[in-house]
Amino acid sequence: MLAHAPEGRTSTAYDYTATAGRQHGQETPVLSVEGVTLQYKTKDHLVTATYQVGFDVHQADRFVLLGPSGCGKSTLLKGIAGFMKPVEGEIRLDGKVVDRPGPDRMMVFQEFDQLLPWKTVLENVMFPMLVSHRWGHKEARERALAAIAKVNLTKFHDVHPHMLSGGMKQRVAIARAMAMEPKILLMDEPFAALDALTRRKMQEELLLLWDDLRFTVVFVTHSIEEAIIVGSRILVLSPHPGQVRAELNSHEFTHAHQGGTEFQSLQLRIHEMLFAEDFEPEAAEVRHG
Ligand SMILES: Nc1ncnc2c1ncn2[C@@H]1O[C@H](COP(=O)(O)OP(=O)(O)OP(=O)(O)O)[C@@H](O)[C@H]1O
C-alpha cells in the first residue's frame, strides 16, 4: 500500500509501508502536531495558512512536508520553530507544548545569506553555540571543527562566506545547525536555489550525514522527486489553505531508483494527490487533524 495508515489500517495500490515510521508502537513522538490551524492577521485580511493539520515525527524520521506553493509549508515550520502560535490545535516537542523558539529546533533556510558575512566559516558555526552558553569557547570550537569536517569543509574553516559556492554555504548552515545537537532539524527548501547537479549532491550528502548521525529532520519541499529521495515519510498537503491529504512512506527510494517503475508510480500518485481538483482522500490515507 502506498499510504501509512496511522491507526494500523491499510490502503491500496503499493506496498511502501513496512518502515521504521510504523514500528514506533507506543513510543512518544519527538514532535507531535495536532489539529493545527495557523493564521496571519493582516490589516485587511485573515489568511488561514494551514487548516487542522496533524502528524507525528519520530526519532530519526526524515519527515517531508510536501505541497504546492502557498499551501503553508513554511508557516508550519514557523509554528514548529515557535515563531507562530496556532489559533487551534497544539504543537508538542518531546511532549511539551511549543510556545517559543529554542535551541532544540535549528532551522536551515534556502537563502545563501543566512551566514554572517563578517565571520569565518568556523566563527559562523561556533556562533549559536556561544550565544546559547551551552558550551564554553574551547568546546564550541572543537564541536564546530568536528561539524565542519562532517560536511567536508575543513579546508575552508578559516574563509569568509563570500568565498564559498552556494552549496558550500548550505553545508556550513547544516554544520552550524547540527553542531547545536537540536532535537529536530528544520529545513525550509534548503536546496531549492541550487543548480540541479549541486542540489542532487547536497541531497546525497544529507542522506550520508543522516546515515552517520540518525538525526530527526522536518524537510520542506515542493519537489515530488526531492520528497521521495530525501524523505522517509512524506506528508502531502493540499493547496491553500494546507490540509493533510495523505501520509506516505518512501524510505527505500534513493537517486538510484529514479526512473524505475515503482519510483515513477509513486511520483504519479503523489502528483494526483497534490493537484487533482476532485481529490477524495482514501480513508486510510488521511491523517486526521
Ligand atoms: N507574513 C505573512 N502575512 C500574511 N500572509 C502570509 C504571510 N506569510 C505567508 N502568508 C500566506 O500564508 C499562506 C502560506 O504561505 P507559506 O509561505 O507558508 O506557503 P509555502 O507552502 O511555504 O509556499 P512556498 O512553497 O511558495 O514557499 C500563503 O497564502 C501566503 O500568502
Domain spans, the chain: 55-82+99-104+185-276, 112-181
| Residue 241 beta carbon below 6 angstroms from any ligand 1 atom | no
- Provide the pLDDT for residue 10: 29
Cell digits for 213? Answer: 548521525
| Residue 193 beta carbon below 6 angstroms from any ligand 1 atom | no
| 225 has pLDDT over 60 | yes
For residue 270, name the pLDDT band (cuts at 50, 70, 90). Answer: very high
Residue 158: count of CB within 10 angstroms of its CB: 11
Fold for 55-82+99-104+185-276, please state it: Rossmann fold (3.40.50)
Q: How does pLDDT run across 173-207, given as a tens digit for each residue?
A: 999 999 999 999 999 999 998 999 999 999 999 99
| 15 has pLDDT over 50 | no
Q: In the chain, what percentage of residues exceed pLDDT 90?
A: 77
Ligand 1, atom 13, residue with closest C-alpha: 49
Ligand 1 centroid–CA 239 distance in Å is 11
Q: In the chain, what percentage of residues exceed pLDDT 70?
A: 87
Q: How does pLDDT run across 241-264, given as a tens digit for each residue?
A: 999 999 999 888 888 898 899 999
- Provide the pLDDT for residue 38: 98
| 167 has pLDDT over 70 | yes
Ligand 1 centroid–CA 49 distance in Å is 6
| 123 has pLDDT over 50 | yes
Ligand 1, atom 11, residue with closest C-alpha: 49
Q: Between residues 35 and 21, which one has the greater pLDDT?
A: 35
Long-range contacts of 274-283 (CB under 8 A, 24+ apart): 274/66, 274/67, 274/68, 274/224, 274/236, 274/238, 274/239, 274/245, 275/68, 279/238, 279/245, 281/245, 281/246, 282/3, 282/11, 282/12, 282/246, 283/9, 283/11
| Residue 239 beta carbon below 6 angstroms from any ligand 1 atom | no
Long-range contacts of 133-142 (CB under 8 A, 24+ apart): 134/103, 134/180
- Provide the pLDDT for residue 280: 61
| 4 has pLDDT over 70 | no
| 102 has pLDDT over 60 | yes
Ligand 1, atom 5, residue with closest C-alpha: 40
User: Averaged over 110-139, what is the pLDDT?
Assistant: 94
* CA atoms within 13 A of residue 130's CA, in its CB half-sphere: 11
| Residue 73 beta carbon below 6 angstroms from any ligand 1 atom | yes
